[in-house]
């Protein structure tokens, strides 16, 4: 009888210890952080009526944002994001049509800790990053590096587009493909605007805001931004 009593007592002790341990574990809050974003958008009107701007935080190799919030098409705004798991993220500002990302406007690595932090972002909607990830991604269907010889020797794949355009002589005209600050004299603009050239691209890929985005990018110096 004594042995049975001791056995029951041991089982009870183990059960209480296990429950206590489980309770302590579940009551320990996970480490989360808060980030306050002050976002300054340059050229905020360069968004089509069908698209919306979003700011999102992405973990490495994840195509879905851990957290995403819509932005307004205004020059300056403040966004507060709470309860973000601690860790390293890539902050992105993107233009989406429905759930589809049409272009990436801005990227920045951020480290989330359990401390509140403030981040200021200056994002240009006429940045080369946006043009490269959106418009030129479409253009690369024909202007691919593997078939560039068939299309004016111009490859517009993401990693080579900038170096193949800016201050590079055009193959079919005595001007530069893109000459910084000289939109009207850049061969790229003449092609997409059909200025007496046999290269009709305008109705294939360009919406009005895309053409405006290219012109502003060149006007502002055709930076690799």
DSSP code string of 91-129 = EEEEEEETTEEEEEEEEEEEEE-SS-EEEEEEEETT-HH
Select the more confidently predicted residue: 177 or 153.
177
| CATH fold for the domain made of 32-124 | Immunoglobulin-like (2.60.40)
The span from the CA of 49 to the CA of 25, in Å, is 49
Q: Tell whether the model's pLDDT for residue 105 goes beyond 50.
A: yes
The pLDDT, as a whole number, for residue 122 is 94
Per domain, the residue ranges of the chain are 32-124, 129-219
Cα Rg for the chain, rounded, in angstroms? Answer: 27
**pLDDT per residue as tens digits for the range 10-20:** 444 433 344 44
**Length of the chain in terms of residues written:** 225
Average pLDDT over residues 109-120: 90
54-to-1, 106, 108, 132, 206 alpha-carbon distances in Å: 71, 11, 14, 18, 22
| 25: confidence class by pLDDT, cuts 50, 70, 90 | very low
CA distance linking residue 166 with residue 146, whole number of Å: 20
Alpha helices (H) along 170-225: 187-192, 202-205, 208-219
Strands (E), the chain: 32-42, 52-58, 67-70, 76-85, 87-97, 100-112, 117-124
DSSP 19: H
Which of 217, 216, 179, 172 is CA-nearest to residue 195?
172
pTM for the structure as a whole: 0.76
Give phi and psi for 22, each to the nearest 5. Answer: -65, -40
Residues near 108 by beta carbon (within 8 Å), at least 6 away in sequence? 90, 91, 119, 121
Mean pLDDT of all residues belonging to the chain: 82
């Amino acid at each position: 009888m004594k042995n049975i009593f001791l056995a029951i007592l041991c089982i009870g002790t183990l059960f209480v210890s296990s429950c206590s341990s489980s309770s302590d574990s579940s009551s320990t809050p996970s480490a989360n952080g808060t980030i306050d974003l002050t976002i300054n958008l340059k050229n905020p009107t360069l968004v089509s009526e069908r698209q919306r701007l979003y700011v999102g935080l992405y973990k490495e190799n994840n195509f879905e944002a851990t957290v995403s919030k819509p932005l307004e098409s205004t020059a300056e705004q403040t966004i507060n994001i709470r309860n973000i798991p601690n860790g390293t993220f890539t902050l992105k500002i993107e233009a989406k049509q429905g759930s589809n990302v049409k272009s990436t406007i801005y990227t920045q690595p951020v480290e989330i800790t359990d401390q509140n932090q403030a981040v200021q972002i200056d994002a240009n909607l006429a940045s080369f990053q946006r043009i490269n990830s959106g418009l030129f991604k479409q253009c690369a269907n024909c202007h691919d590096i593997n078939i560039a010889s068939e299309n004016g020797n111009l490859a517009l794949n993401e990693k080579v587009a900038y170096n193949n355009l800016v201050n590079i002589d055009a193959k079919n005209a005595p001007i530069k493909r893109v000459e910084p600050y000289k939109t009207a004299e850049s061969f790229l603009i003449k092609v997409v605007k059909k200025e007496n050239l046999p290269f009709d691209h305008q109705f294939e890929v360009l919406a009005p805001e895309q053409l405006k985005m290219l012109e502003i990018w060149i006007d502002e110096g055709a930076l690799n931004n």
